[in-house]
Structure 1
Amino acid sequence: MDDYLSIAIPKGTLYKDTVRVLREAGLNVDELETDSRKLFFVNEEDRVKYIICRPTDIPTFVEYGAADLGFVGKDTIVEQNKDVYELLDLKYGACRFVVAVPEKTARDGQWEQMTHARVATKFPRVAQNYFAAEGKQMEIIKLHGNIELAPLVGLSEMIVDIVSTGRTLRENNLVAVAEIFKSTARLIANRVSHRLKNNRINPLIGQLKEVVGKLND
C-alpha cells in the first residue's frame, strides 16, 4: 500500500468542514459521513487511507509518517512546533488566541502593568512566546480544561485561550484585552511524504485550493 495516500482527519469541530472540502475536491468520503465509530478507513478507488484522531495528535501522526497529510488548526501547529510542512490555509475553523482578564482588572487597566503575573492556559508555548516578546516574565500554569475558572478562584491573574464568539469569556466575567494571533484550519504534510509522494499530494493541493477559493468567494 506504498502508493496510498494517508490523511489524518480531526475529530470534533473541524471534522464536518474537513470532510466537506475533501468531498468537494473530488475524493470519495462516503464512509466518513456515516455514524461509524471506526477510526481507520481505506478507499480502494481513490487509494486513500483515512485516520480519524484527536486534533492534538495529528501533528505527531504526520511528523512520524503515520499520516502523509493532516488537517489541523494553526493553534495546534504553533503550540506543538512539530517538524511538518504547512501547505495550505483552509480558511475554516476560524478562532483567535487572546489574553483575557477579569472585568475589574480590564476596567482598571491593571493588566498592562503586570510583568510577573500567573497565566493559566492550555497553550504554554504560545503564552510563553507572546509574553516573552512583550518583555514580561509571566508564570505559565498549564491546565487541560476550564481555563476560565482559574482567575475566578485565584489560581491566576489572567488566561491565554482560544475564542470564537467570546461567549464563554463573557459568561465568566472575563474580557479579552489582547489578541495574540488568529487561527484557521491548515493542511500539513510529512516532509518525506511531501517529497516522495508529490505526484499524489500536489494535485490534491491544487484541488483544495480551488475548493477553498470557491467557498470563500
Structure 2
Amino acid sequence: MEIKIVLPNKGRLSKPSLNLLLKAGIIPFFEKTNQLYIQTIIPDVSVVFIRASDIPRFVEAGAADLGITGYDFIVESQAKVVELLDLEFGKAKLVLAKPEKSKIRSVGEINPKTRIATKFPVITKNFLLKNRKKAKILRISGACEIMPSLGVADLIVDVTSTGATLKTHKLEVVEEVMDSSARLIANKNSLNTKRKKIEELTLAIKSVLYAKRKKLIMMNVPEKNLQKVLKVIPSMAGPTLAKVESPTPMWEVYSVVDENETYKIITAVKNAGARDILILPIEKIVP
C-alpha cells in the first residue's frame, strides 16, 4: 500500500520539512524543480507538495497519510487528524498586534466595533471568546501587516517569528495568542490500515530529531586515568571502550552526550586525564 506524505510547497516550513525527510532517508526522486508529486527511494512512499494551510484538511480527507504543517494551521482548520510529533522547527507565535500609535493597550480595550484582520479567523474568534470580548473579524488571505495602515483594520492577529515584520510596519504586540511549530500529523484511518509503515517512517524522522540534541564524544584515556574519566562521563547506556595499541597502556572511550553539556563534559574529562578529545555530529539515533 502506498504512503503519501504531504509537505508545504512554500513558506517558512517548506525547506526545513524537506530537509528533515532527506536526513531521515526519505529521499524524493526530483526530475523537475516544480514537481508536486514525487516518488521517493523508499518503495511505495511518495511526497506531495501543497499549501501549508491546506495540509490538515488534505490529511483528514485521506488524500495523504502523513503531513507536515504548522500547529497554527492544524488548529485553524479544526481538522480531525492525529498529531504524531512536534518537529521542533518553524517555531513562531500567533500574536494580537496594533499600530504603535493606537490607543488600544490591552485585550480588555477591544470593543464590538474593533476591526481585526487575520488569516486565522477561527483562532481569533476563540481567543476573543476566551477573553469575553467581541470584535469584527476580517478574514484576509494577503499580508495582514499593511491592513491597519490602509485603514482596513484596527488590529491584526498574525504569525511572527522574530518580530521584524511587525516592526517594519510599525506594529507592536498587544498579547500572544498561541505558540506554533511544525508537526507531523496522520490520517486516522491510515494509522489503522498502514500502521506498520507509518511507524517505520515516524521512527526514521524521530531518529533525526533525537540526534539533533546529541553529540558523539571520543577520547584517548591512559589506563591509569580510566576509572576517573568513567566517573565523570555521561552516556545513553554506558560508554564504549576499546583497547588502543600503543606503547603506553591506553583506552579509546566514546559516548553519546547531550549537546548542551559538551562544554562541561570536555572540561571534566580533560581534568580527569583524557586527551585527544573529539566532538562529532550524529545524523540519527534510533532508541
Is TM > 0.5 for Structure 1 vs Structure 2? yes
Aligned pair partner of 1:79 in 76, 80, 90: 76
Query: Secondary structure in 2 aligned to 1:105?
Result: coil
Tell me the amino acid that sits aligned with residue 95 of structure 2: V
Tell me the amino acid that sits aligned with residue 138 of structure 2: I
Residue matched to 1:177: 174
What's the TM-score, normalizing by structure 1? Answer: 0.91
**Whole-Å separation in 2 of the counterparts to 1:28 and 1:105:** 49
Tell me the amino acid that sits aligned with residue 214 of structure 1: A
Tell me the amino acid that sits aligned with residue 206 of structure 1: L
Residue matched to 1:190: 187
Is 1:94 the counterpart of 2:91 in the alignment?
yes
Aligned residues between the structures: 212
Query: Secondary structure in 2 aligned to 1:93?
Result: coil
Alignment of 1:12-161 (within 5 A): 12=10, 13-31=12-30, 36-43=33-40, 45-105=42-102, 109=105, 112-116=108-112, 117-161=114-158
Shift, 1:63, TM fit: 1.1
Aligned pair in 2 of structure 1 residues 134, 45: CA closer, same or farther (>3 Å)? closer
In the alignment, structure 2 segments of 5+ residues that lack a partner are: 215-287
Bigger helix share = 1
**Whole-Å separation in 2 of the counterparts to 1:110 and 1:47:** 52
Query: More deviation in 126-135 or 152-161?
Result: 152-161
Identical amino acids, percent of aligned pairs:
36
Query: Secondary structure in 1 aligned to 2:144?
Result: coil
**Whole-Å separation in 2 of the counterparts to 1:165 and 1:212:** 23
Give the CA RMSD over aligned residues. 1.8
Shift, 1:35, TM fit: 5.1
Work out whether residues 119 and 157 of structure 1, in 8 Å CA contact, stay in contact via their aligned partners in 2: yes
Aligned pair in 2 of structure 1 residues 73, 54: CA closer, same or farther (>3 Å)? same
Query: Secondary structure in 2 aligned to 1:207?
Result: helix
Residue matched to 1:163: 160
Aligned pair in 2 of structure 1 residues 132, 39: CA closer, same or farther (>3 Å)? same
**Whole-Å separation in 2 of the counterparts to 1:171 and 1:212:** 34
Tell me the amino acid that sits aligned with residue 114 of structure 1: I
Query: More deviation in 206-215 or 108-117?
Result: 108-117
Once the two structures are superposed, residues 148-176 of structure 1 have per-residue CA deviations (whole angstroms, 9 ceiling, x without a partner) of 22222322211100011111111111101
Aligned pair in 2 of structure 1 residues 194, 214: CA closer, same or farther (>3 Å)? same
What's the TM-score, normalizing by structure 2? Answer: 0.69
In the alignment, structure 1 segments of 5+ residues that lack a partner are: none
**Whole-Å separation in 1 of the counterparts to 2:25 and 2:77:** 31
Shift, 1:89, TM fit: 0.5
Residue matched to 1:7: 5
Shift, 1:44, TM fit: 5.9
Residue matched to 1:204: 201
Shift, 1:215, TM fit: 2.0
